[in-house]
Amino acid sequence: MHDSLLLFGATGDLAQRYLFPSLMHLLRDRLLPEDFRVVAIGRTPHDDDAFRAWLRERIAGDARNNGAVENLLRRIHYHPIDLTDVDGMAATLSRYADRPAVSYLSTPPNLFESACLGLKAAGLLEPPSRLVLEKPIGHDLASAREIDATLKSALDESRIFRIDHYLGKAPVQNLLALRFGNTLLEAVWDNRCIESVDILVAETAGVDGREGYYADYGALRDMVQNHMLQLLALIAMEPPAALDADSVRDEKRKVLRALRPMTAAEAATDSVRGRYTAGVVEGAAAKGFTADSAVETFVGLRAWIDNWRWAGVPFRLVTGKRMPSRTTEVLVNFKPVTHWVFDRPDREQARPNSLRMRLQPEETIELGLMGSLAAPEWGATELMPMSLDLSMLPPKRRIAYERLMIDALKGDQTLFVRDDEVEAQWRWIDSISAAWQQAGTPVQDYPAGSWGPAAAAGFLPRTVGKAGSRG
């Protein structure tokens, strides 16, 4: 395990909310090397003491963690650096090339290339040092390839870690265990038994403070291209030969390459775009998205995987800002039983089986079944929905980044995204962008606090309580 971490974007929101708390927890639990150090890099002019005081205010929280906070802070050295200045970056950071390091770029993607060049010049990307990058990798397929070419000029793919924190969440890993460790589920995991799959990522937050970034990316590029397609790939992948990095990522790549490109003729039926206006979210007034851009803050898609296992099964992907509630979930909808023999409910009202995996706000996995309402002596011909909780909840959930940081420090790429996966994801996303442009797909308004525009009804899972026809 490497014992040196260079954290770029150290004054950013992600670092404050997740990265530094994750490091604090790992140190508290003695999961990091004794001489572990953190080199924090940001734009704000601080010296070491000023940065430590600034960070202490933001992560101290519970007084019981004071020892862990101080343990982390004393290991941190801070440098204000302009990442576009390759020579200046190399001059400042070369002193830390005394031992192998993991450099973590929690920065906008337009800084990846210059940061990579600066790290290379500083001697910080020589083997066995590693590089971690936050999403998104580029803006489209062409820009992703440009970034990748720069990365490959500095280090090989085995030392590049493209992070997607959804892959570090316990229910996502539990899904793999349920699928591949149980004959019961793997036997029905195909188009013979599954009618459709819903993937929903709803956020109550808007894009306040990120208008500039969001105006360039929108919901399609910001959420679907990475988080949602990675979830889709894990759900739809074939069983890998082993749970090592290459085997798992080989199977995910096959799924992503099998996604049917969207055409202009299909844009109206297989997609909907939305943009939130003023409204009310969780009892508070919310302003509309006002950036001078035609991008969407809500997107609903119907994806088709053209292979033997999933032919004909729609994967409905929905994500949006300023939704009524914050939730991320996957709902696998099984087909109804072929012959219905019960008096009540009638066949049309019977609820087919489903597997529901929630990633937030709580992390749970539930299996929806039908069971008998009456005891056997009363006939037992009336059924009602029942839920089987499949979650194994530990006393405290870890932040997803904790698992991923440990894996990056150890060099385990299993839960990280490979270059060919990124290309396959962008290829499908680019087909949607082109279809929208050719078809003139409009961005429809929806009030903040609603489940998107009216046309979104056919894309939403039944778990959000929204009626609508779904194909």
Name residues whose C-beta falls within 8 Å of residue 233's C-beta, 6 or more positions apart in sequence. Answer: 252, 253, 255, 256, 421
CB 229 within 8 A of CB 253: no
Annotated catalytic residue 227: yes
Strands across the sheet with 37-42, in order?
76-80, 37-42, 4-8, 102-105, 130-133, 160-162
Q: Left (φ > 0), alpha (ψ -120 to 50) or beta: where does 65 sit?
A: alpha
DSSP letters, 84-144, are T-HHHHHHHHGGGTTS--EEEE-S-GGGHHHHHHHHHHTT-SSTT-EEEEPSP--SSHHHH
**Backbone torsions φ then ψ of 163, nearest 5 degrees:** -90, 140
The rounded distance, in Å, linking the Cα atoms of 450 and 458 is 15
The rounded distance, in Å, linking the Cα atoms of 278 and 7 is 37
- For residue 237, which of 323, 338, 309, 184 has the smallest C-alpha distance? 309
| Angle between helix 20-28 and 400-410 (nearest 10) | 70
Neighbouring-strand partners of residue 40: 7, 78
Residue with tokens 């971690």: 132
C-alpha dist (Å) from residue 174 to 59, 144, 237, 391, 420: 29, 30, 15, 8, 25
- For residue 109, which of 74, 64, 150 has the smallest C-alpha distance? 150
Name residues whose C-beta falls within 8 Å of residue 209's C-beta, 6 or more positions apart in sequence. Answer: none
Name residues whose C-beta falls within 8 Å of residue 378's C-beta, 6 or more positions apart in sequence. Answer: none
**On the CB side of 223, how many CA atoms lie within 13 Å of its CA?**
21
C-alpha dist (Å) from residue 401 to 21, 39, 92, 166: 9, 18, 27, 9
**On the CB side of 211, how many CA atoms lie within 13 Å of its CA?**
9
User: What DSSP element (H or E) covers 271?
Assistant: strand 271-277
Choice among 2, 25, 165, 227 that is catalytic:
227
Catalytic residues: 227
